[in-house]
With several copies, the nearest count.
Chain A
């Protein structure tokens, strides 16, 4: 039990349900407190999409494509929600015994009713909570090829990607029969499934689709940092649903995940500001929100496993490495991951996944490892899960981009790109002032 409940947030729900201490009686019953919290947690993750990530991205691009990121985010998220209830939930949590695939048992949510429970909460709630995770992940990816992607291409790719990358990896990580799950990988709220996954897909996309016209020549500064700041802040607050919600209950673990989300983000934000101050004498607003996101990503797999002080360091380290990557490495490599999805979600995600294995150590204030597991062994399984995710994600994503390109095309014409996606793809202008 204890051991299991340490392995992953989602697992703990099932685990806890059986603990007499927490359920009124032996057989699981609905707990109104847990249900209340999870309803809110689900709404908070929804908030990360509407308007969180949409604004964060929209503010960072040029005014002429400000709307395109909003439309892409909204349509991708909505389409994936529809896929989720039709087949996604089944593919991920359909009950099959395969370590890779959930099966067809719950297509159209068949068998689920108002009274079905999942641990101490209604199963519909677990479904809705998971749905928001599935919906936000492909929306994260589009930052990698902003301002030049075709709307139809973005949506089609997203559908293919969740089907062949996200649903299987979600099964591997969170289903009781899943591959990583049974390795004992610690991924509290989805560092591998969501962030590494999105980061790598964005990187591949940036390569396949190619850089924006005028990159390195034209001024491509964010058209509205205040809007990006609103987006980042909404992501910060929504992330409490993402991380603390992954305990699937209103318990001590959820609370630990919450305070860690605060402290890791604080550490990461301050770290980014400091490194900027040291290297160029100025701490920027974009730097603050970049550090903020880096910290949030890094603490995602660690949230329920490390201590509040350890989380500060975990966040700061991930932030510094991400800074180094986007400010130094990236410019050398010269690809155009326009909004640094890989540089921030990917890199901080990887650092966070690995460091989770480290800071979970009781000596560092963590909750410790499963019986008989040491730091070395834990770090190893963490890395194993990361590598599988990267390889699977990179290869399959590459294929899916090519497939999408053949079917509807990925990139708009040079003239359309120059004029801006808002007018050419959506027939509107963001501002009339």
Chain B
């Protein structure tokens, strides 16, 4: 199995989720994160005190899928999250040794 980690723009979350459900992804973990990258942050001034906010709000998706589905998931995210503007995000793929569903104890692909 593979763990697919994607950092995307917050307002793209719904679109990505729908696209993934469409191709049969049945679960994911979503985290609000602060992203750092080529897309620069912004400055805020409070009574003359200037603060550079170097981080940009992003959403991180973590999805575990059978190896077979991995590439399709990556492509789907690529399409759904794309705005062609800087800061669209990244996708990373890692190997997963094992997966278990807590409720049933099922392991492996059945757990997903």
Contact = CB atoms under 8 A, between A and B. Distances in A.
Contacts of B47: 286-287, 290, 326-327, 340, 343
A203 to B, nearest CB: 15
Contacts of B46: 220-222, 284, 286, 428
A70 to B, nearest CB: 15
Interface in B18-47: 42-47
A384 interface: no
A197 B53 CA distance: 36
B49 A220 contact: yes
A219 B53 contact: yes
B83 to A, nearest CB: 10
Nearest to B15: A217
B45 A427 contact: yes
A273 to B, nearest CB: 13
Nearest to A433: B32
Interface residues on B, range: 10 to 19
A219 B54 CA distance: 11
A330 B14 contact: no
A330 B44 contact: no
Contacts of B45: 280, 284, 427
A224 interface: no
A284 B43 CA distance: 13
A93 B100 CA distance: 69
Interface in A310-329: 326-328
Contact of B43 (A218, A286, A418, A427): A427
Contacts of A233: none
Contact of A218 (B14, B44, B48, B53): B14
A213 to B, nearest CB: 9
Q: Among A222, A287, A343, A427, which residue has the most Cβ atoms of chain B within 10 A?
A: A427
B21 to A, nearest CB: 16
A221 B48 contact: no
Interface residues of A, number: 25
A327 B53 contact: no
A431 to B, nearest CB: 12
A428 B48 contact: no
A290 B46 CA distance: 10
A423 interface: yes
Interface string A1-45: 000000000000000000000000000000000000000000000
A331 interface: yes
Given A218-B14, A418-B11, A427-B43, A330 B48 contact: yes
Contact of A221 (B11, B14, B42, B51): B51
Contacts of A287: 47
Given A217-B14, A418-B11, A427 B44 contact: yes
A286 B51 CA distance: 14
A429 interface: yes
Q: Among A214, A221, A290, A343, which residue has the most Cβ atoms of chain B within 10 A?
A: A221
A27 to B, nearest CB: 53
A326 B48 contact: yes
Contacts of B51: 219-221
Contacts of B44: 221, 423, 427-429
Q: Among A219, A284, A327, A418, which residue has the most Cβ atoms of chain B within 10 A?
A: A219
A131 to B, nearest CB: 29
B49 A328 contact: no
B38 to A, nearest CB: 17
A327 B11 contact: no
Contacts of A284: 45-46
12 contacts: A216-B49, A218-B11, A220-B46, A220-B49, A221-B46, A221-B51, A290-B47, A327-B48, A328-B48, A427-B42, A427-B45, A428-B46
Interface of B: 11, 14, 42-49, 51, 53
Given A220-B49, A221-B44, 20 more contacts: A218-B14, A219-B51, A219-B53, A220-B46, A220-B51, A280-B45, A284-B45, A286-B46, A290-B47, A326-B47, A326-B48, A327-B47, A330-B48, A331-B49, A340-B47, A423-B42, A423-B44, A427-B44, A427-B45, A428-B46
